[in-house]
Structure 1
Amino acid sequence: LNSMPTLSLLNYLPSLLDGLLRILSDSNSEIRRNCELLLSDFLMEISRQPESTDVPAMVNTLIVNCRLATAAVATTLQRGGCPTAPESLGANAYPSQSLLSASPERLQQVTALRWLNAFVDTESLNLLPLVADILSATLPCLIDDRSDCSALEIAIRINEKLMKAVLCAQEAKPHSTASKSPTPYVPFTNHDSLTVYFYAQSYAGRCL
């Protein structure tokens, strides 16, 4: 259906995305492959028409699936398994053969991270109210199997971009009036993601 020129599924993608991501955990490798190729097509379409779909709604879906997949990866590692994936994957690249042959939980995790990375690239300011939730999904990926850096690399890129977005938003805010308590300056370091997480939680609270 998505290949038909007169029909665009982007308007329906927020409702379809959760099901597609869960298909990535199917035991049938051919089903996983076709689903990942379809998701890559969707992501390329969104990059060309970012206004054609509800990005915040999809980000929430990606957060949930990333958390579930990361927990499944951790369980596999604890049991002595090896949820392998490629060492490096471009944010908007088509899936490589090594990724398609990865474990279902790793495929789901890396795909969710790849989508989050793409959305943070294009919608970072609009996603500021969701920074804390996004980091709650990406931070656990920083503690990853050192023999497989696929999720780790994408998670680091996402965290660094979110740090910059939060700092830029704070610098752009007008000075507080005398009647209001000024926001304290927080000295961030390049990989001080935990500090950003707690700071982002307070920022998200002020956005509500």
Structure 2
Amino acid sequence: MAADALSIIPGAVLRNLSDKLYEKRKNAALEIEGIVKQLAMAGEHERISAVISLLTNDFTYSPQTNHRKGGLIGLAAVTVGLTSEAAQHLEQIVPPVLNSFLDQDSRVRYYACEALYNIAKVVRGDFIIYFNKIFDALCKLSADSDANVQSAAHLLDRLVKDIVTESDQFSIEEFIPLLRERMNVLNPYVRQFLVGWITVLDSVPDIDMLGFLPDFLDGLFNMLSDSSHEIRQQADAALSEFLQEIKNSPNVDYGRMAEILVRRAGSTDEFTRLTSITWINEFVKLGGEQLVPYYADILGAILPCISDEEEKIRVVLSCHVYCVVCACSG
């Protein structure tokens, strides 16, 4: 297969693809794009697969940095050349690009972001089957040590968000376990990334984020005590939006979330305690019989707030405590 590919792509093009100069690599990629376009028009998909294998094995997996850079721009060029027929080759194209996000060289990681961006622009919704792997990679890249890689990852992230919001193939059920796992990460860049995704997905009418709120509610509450004001603000805004949705929804799993709120009401962080009690107060008014099994725990969590060491907590929560005690006693 490699020999076949060598007969398809001129040697001079392959040499330029691994040149240290970006312009030479870019021009070589444009030639590869044109060659693949001709092969696609002729229905020569086996030969296209041979070209992809060559770019993957001899370039993206090469020990030489410039080869790896060239392989990435080459794979993106193949996708552009294939246009509407690219989907059938994604299984070959996407994995080596994702693998390059782990490269020790920051420039290779940068070009991996650029390559995946150009691939995603071509295939759009066909990209969704790789969403969890792409999300996981972007999650790590959001905290990359190189500012240029972070910037490139942000551009890719915005494009992926656009694709997901317009796609009917996205599976929230498959995504939630990954989100739940990542919510435990403490890195501030990752936390901003996660809240951003939660907010975007919640804005899509066909995606029921509220139904899965118990899976990531604790993670959002954990962010209320972050050292970054911006992260606390973003988490609070997301929680406020979800609480409003809860008030307007007839189907809410109050029980699972009540357990989280009871635990968070005992937080050492003032803002977290305040938010928890506010939620508990609303839950008692809305949850009805669902919350009866949790009344004892709820009372045990909020009664200490009457004598909270923080005066602000005592003043603000006094009304909430009274309402909850009345509901639980009635």
Given that 1:144 and 1:152 are in contact with CA atoms closer than 8 Å, whether structure 2 keeps it comes out as no
Residue of structure 2 in register with 1:39 after alignment = 239
2:292 corresponds to 1:124: no
Structure with bigger helix share is 2
Given that 1:142 and 1:156 are in contact with CA atoms closer than 8 Å, whether structure 2 keeps it comes out as no
Structure 1 residue 145: deviation in Å?
4.1
Number of equivalences:
128
2:199 corresponds to 1:21: no
Residue of structure 2 in register with 1:57 after alignment = 256
- Equivalent residue runs for 1:58-207 within 5 Å: 58-67=257-266, 69=267, 72=268, 105-145=269-309, 147-148=311-312, 149-164=315-330
Unaligned runs of 5+ residues in structure 1 are 73-104, 165-208
Aligned residue for 1:35, secondary structure, equals helix
Residue of structure 2 in register with 1:12 after alignment = 212
Aligned residue for 2:289, secondary structure, equals coil
1:43 alignment partner AA: L
Normalised by the length of structure 2, the TM-score is: 0.37
What is the rounded CA distance, in whole Å, between the counterparts of 2:310 and 2:298 in structure 1? 22
CA 1:40–1:146: 2 relative to 1, 3 Å: closer
Aligned residue for 1:32, secondary structure, equals helix
Residue of structure 2 in register with 1:75 after alignment = none
Given that 2:262 and 2:298 are in contact with CA atoms closer than 8 Å, whether structure 1 keeps it comes out as yes
What is the rounded CA distance, in whole Å, between the counterparts of 1:13 and 1:32 in structure 2? 18
Runs ≥4 in structure 1, deviation > 6 angstroms?
Answer: none
Q: Percent identity?
A: 34
What is the rounded CA distance, in whole Å, between the counterparts of 1:146 and 1:113 in structure 2? 14
Aligned residue for 2:203, secondary structure, equals coil
C-alpha RMSD of the superposition? 1.5
What is the rounded CA distance, in whole Å, between the counterparts of 1:11 and 1:122 in structure 2? 16
Structure 1 residue 125: deviation in Å?
2.8
2:288 alignment partner AA: S
Deviations 1:84-140 (A, max 9, x none): xxxxxxxxxxxxxxxxxxxxx111111111111111001233311211111110111
What is the rounded CA distance, in whole Å, between the counterparts of 2:311 and 2:298 in structure 1? 24
Normalised by the length of structure 1, the TM-score is: 0.58
What is the rounded CA distance, in whole Å, between the counterparts of 2:310 and 2:273 in structure 1? 16
Given that 1:24 and 1:108 are in contact with CA atoms closer than 8 Å, whether structure 2 keeps it comes out as yes
CA 1:48–1:40: 2 relative to 1, 3 Å: same
Given that 1:24 and 1:107 are in contact with CA atoms closer than 8 Å, whether structure 2 keeps it comes out as yes
Unaligned runs of 5+ residues in structure 2 are 1-200
* Greater relative CO (CA pairs within 8 A, separation 6+): 1
Given that 2:270 and 2:310 are in contact with CA atoms closer than 8 Å, whether structure 1 keeps it comes out as no
CA 1:150–1:2: 2 relative to 1, 3 Å: same
